[in-house]
Amino acid sequence: MSGTLTTLKKELLSYAVSPVSWIIAVLFYLVRGFELYAAALGFAIYRADPNQFPGATYGAGSTFYMVLLVPGILTMRCFAEERRTGSIETLMTAPIRDVEVVVGKWLAAAVFFAILWLPSVLVLHVLEYGPYFDADISFGPVFAAYLGMFLLSGMLLAFGCFASSLTENVLLAAILTMLFTGLLTQASEFLAQYAGALRESYYVRELLAKLDVYGNFSNWFARGLVDTSQVAFYVGGIGFFLFLTWTSLTSRRLA
């Protein structure tokens, strides 16, 4: 456990001093800030219900940028860079369990990702005042939406760690993660076309529903609804990809 914490601290420090993190943050805040401003202005002009606002903003381009592109960029260096520079040798020969390394690195990526997102909650709070809504926004749906986003991103970050453990080419690791993300967003629709009679099966239907990232967001999380089966699906996905990462890492110790 202490190994996880040590790795977490070190990785967070690395994120904090990496120019890539700052470029991601600046781009995100610029685009997100502009989008929220434009959307809030639209809501104010048309006197729309402010409580619809958080849900409406999840379709914004910056959300896709953050959820679909950023996990690959954040995690590409996790193991690929260590393999490329050879520092994996000092890491693997230190008295720390492989699982602690994997969890520490993933956790650092997840915490850093959360830190990037949190200021956008503050923006919502600012919008509660005039001249925008001049009304209280219900933060329940906001919480649910953020939870959904973090769960999905957590799974993508876990996949990113796995992709990064497969290669020493950081770019390839990032591309693999983005490809996976792209496939995941299309998988439900694509598989449904070929499922045929299997769609009659309850389990197949459920699996397709859970895989439907957009559906999960627009029908559930963005409306403030948290379905425990969806939470379990994403948490399971995180566990699954972290397990694969651990397997990939620890396989070099096995004869």
Partner 1 sequence: MIRVAELTKRFGPTVAVDRVSFEIERGEVVGFLGPNGAGKTTTIRVLTGYHPATSGRAEVAGFDVQRQSLEVRQNIGYLPQEVPIYPDLRVVEYLRYRAELKGVPARERRGAVSRAMAKAGIEDVARRLVGHVSHGYRQRVGLADALVADPQILILDEPTSGLDPNQRRRVKQVVRDLAAEHTILFSSHILGEVQDVSSRVIVIHRGTVRADGPPADLVARSTRAQLRVTARCTAEQLRAWVEELPGVVGATLAAHGEQPASLRCDLEPGADPTTALGDRLQAAGVAVHELRLELPTLEEYFYAITDGQDQQLDGDAREGAA
Alpha helices (H) along the chain: 2-17, 19-46, 53-57, 61-64, 70-75, 80-85, 87-92, 98-127, 139-166, 170-195, 202-211, 213-215, 228-250
If binding is defined by CB under 8 A, does position 255 make contact with partner 1? yes
Residue 96 CB, shortest distance to partner 1, in Å, is 6
Measure the CA–CA gap between 23 and 140, rounded to whole angstroms. Answer: 31
With vertex at residue 245, the alpha carbon angle to CA 25 and CA 157, rounded to the nearest 5 degrees, is 20
Residue 143 CB, shortest distance to partner 1, in Å, is 34
Q: Is the CB of 111 or the CB of 209 nearer to partner 1?
A: 111
Contacting residue, 1, 45, 197, 254, with partner 1 by CB under 8 A: 254
Contacting residue, 6, 51, 218, 247, with partner 1 by CB under 8 A: 6
Instruction: For 117, list phi and psi in degrees, rounded to 5.
Output: -80, -35
CA nearest neighbour of 55 among 145, 123, 129, 135: 145
CA nearest neighbour of 241 among 115, 89, 71: 71
Contacting residue, 31, 56, 69, 96, with partner 1 by CB under 8 A: 96
Give every CB contact of residue 81 below 8 A, 6+ residues apart in sequence.
Answer: 87, 164, 170
Residue 73 CB, shortest distance to partner 1, in Å, is 16
If binding is defined by CB under 8 A, does position 193 make contact with partner 1? no
Contacting residue, 23, 49, 97, 126, with partner 1 by CB under 8 A: 97
Q: Is the CB of 67 or the CB of 101 nearer to partner 1?
A: 101
Of the ranges 14-22, 49-57, 64-72, 145-153, which one interacts with partner 1 (CB under 8 A)?
Answer: 14-22
Encoded tokens for 217:
């967001």
Is 107:242 a contact under the CB 8 Å cutoff?
no
Residue 6 CB, shortest distance to partner 1, in Å, is 5
Contacting residue, 17, 45, 122, 197, with partner 1 by CB under 8 A: 17
Measure the CA–CA gap between 134 and 122, rounded to whole angstroms. Answer: 15
Is 171:150 a contact under the CB 8 Å cutoff?
no
If binding is defined by CB under 8 A, does position 99 make contact with partner 1? no
Contacting residue, 37, 90, 198, 206, with partner 1 by CB under 8 A: 90
Instruction: Please tell me the count of residues contacting partner 1 according to CB under 8 A.
Output: 26
If binding is defined by CB under 8 A, does position 47 make contact with partner 1? no
If binding is defined by CB under 8 A, does position 2 make contact with partner 1? yes
Per CB under 8 A, residues contacting partner 1 are 2-3, 6-7, 9-10, 13-14, 17-18, 85-90, 92-97, 252-255
